[in-house]
């Protein structure tokens, strides 16, 4: 005996039989916000915070004597931003 999936017409026929009170009772059991449309932005927020921290702390090459000094300072800032030393606790609402 095979079990066939109900089609939309079958579902519509079943709903046509129900009284409004029965439909209301069924709908009451279905959560209104079931989380199907929630998007997790935590990785994006973390990436934006690291970028903000880096660019807030980074210096311009013309502010140092040599390019090697700039590269060393830049690498230090990059490592500090990636390590999360100055990380704030993010509270997502």
- Residue 39 has what pLDDT? 81
Convert 51-70 into a string of H (helix), E (strand) and C (coil): HHHHHHHCCCHHHCCCHHHH
pLDDT for the residue 44:
92
What does the pLDDT profile of the chain (93 residues) look like in tens digits?
A: 457 888 999 888 988 998 989 988 888 888 777 666 778 898 899 889 888 888 888 888 888 888 998 888 888 888 888 887 665 555 454
Count of structural domains, the chain = 1
Q: Is residue 29 part of a domain?
A: no
What pLDDT sits at residue 86? 62
75: domain range?
A: 42-83
64 in a domain, yes or no?
yes
Within a domain: 61: yes
In a domain, 78, yes or no: yes
Task: Establish if 71 belongs to a structural domain.
Answer: yes
Helix (H) or strand (E) holding 17: helix 8-17
Residue 51 lies inside a defined structural domain of this protein: yes
Question: Is residue 73 in a domain?
Answer: yes
């Amino acid at each position: 005996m095979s079990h066939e999936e109900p089609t939309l017409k079958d579902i519509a026929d079943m709903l046509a039989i129900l009284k409004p009170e029965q439909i209301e009772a069924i709908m009451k059991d279905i959560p209104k916000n079931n989380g199907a449309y929630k998007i997790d932005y935590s990785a994006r927020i973390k990436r934006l915070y690291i970028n903000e921290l880096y660019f807030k702390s980074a210096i311009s090459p013309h502010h140092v004597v040599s390019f090697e000094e700039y590269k060393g300072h830049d690498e230090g800032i990059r490592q500090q931003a990636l390590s999360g030393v100055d990380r704030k606790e993010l509270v997502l609402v």
